[in-house]
Amino acid sequence: MNIAILSRGEALYSTQSLLKAGEARNHTMEVLDPSYCNLAVENGKAVLYFQNELVDDLHAVIPRIGASNTYFGTNVVRHFEAMGVFSAVSSEGISNSRDKWTCFQILAKHQIPVPRTIYASFFEFEEQLKTFNGKPIIIKLLEGTHGEGVILTESPQNALATIETLNAAGVKFLLQEYIEEANGADVRAIVVDGVVVAAMKRKCKLGDFRSNLHRGGTSEMISLSSAEEKIAIKAAKAMNLGFCGVDILQSKNGPLVLEINSTPGLEGIENTSGKNVSKSVIGFIERNKKSQ
Residues that bind ligand ATP (CB under 6 A): 115, 138, 140, 144-150, 176, 178-179, 182, 186, 209-212, 247, 249, 258-259, 261
b/e per residue 100-124 (b: at least 16 CB within 10 A): bbebbebbeeeebbbbebbbeeeee
Sheet (strand 243-251) strand order: 218-221, 195-203, 185-192, 243-251, 254-261
State the nearest-atom distance from the C-beta of 134 to ligand ATP, in Å.
16
State the nearest-atom distance from the C-beta of 116 to ligand ATP, in Å.
9
State the nearest-atom distance from the C-beta of 71 to ligand ATP, in Å.
17
For helices 277-290 and 13-24, angle between their N-to-C axes, nearest 10 degrees: 50
Q: In Å, how far are 128, 145, 225, 266, 267 from 68, measured between CA atoms?
A: 31, 10, 34, 19, 20
Instruction: Of 49, 40, 41, 32, give the one whose Cα is nearest residue 87.
Output: 32
Please, which residue, 110 or 146, has the CB nearer to ligand ATP? 146
State the nearest-atom distance from the C-beta of 85 to ligand ATP, in Å.
27
Please, which residue, 27 or 202, has the CB nearer to ligand ATP? 202
Please, which residue, 37 or 244, has the CB nearer to ligand ATP? 244
Please, which residue, 186 or 270, has the CB nearer to ligand ATP? 186
Sheet (strand 60-63) strand order: 28-32, 2-6, 60-63, 86-87
State the nearest-atom distance from the C-beta of 22 to ligand ATP, in Å.
25
State the nearest-atom distance from the C-beta of 278 to ligand ATP, in Å.
19
CA 99/CA 112 separation, integer angstroms: 17
State the nearest-atom distance from the C-beta of 44 to ligand ATP, in Å.
38
77-82 contact pairs (CB < 8 A, 24+): 77/6, 77/34, 79/37, 79/39, 79/46, 79/48, 80/48, 82/46
Please, which residue, 197 or 258, has the CB nearer to ligand ATP? 258
Give yes or no for a contact between 280 and 192, defined as CB atoms under 8 angstroms apart: yes
Please, which residue, 4 or 246, has the CB nearer to ligand ATP? 246
Please, which residue, 37 or 190, has the CB nearer to ligand ATP? 190
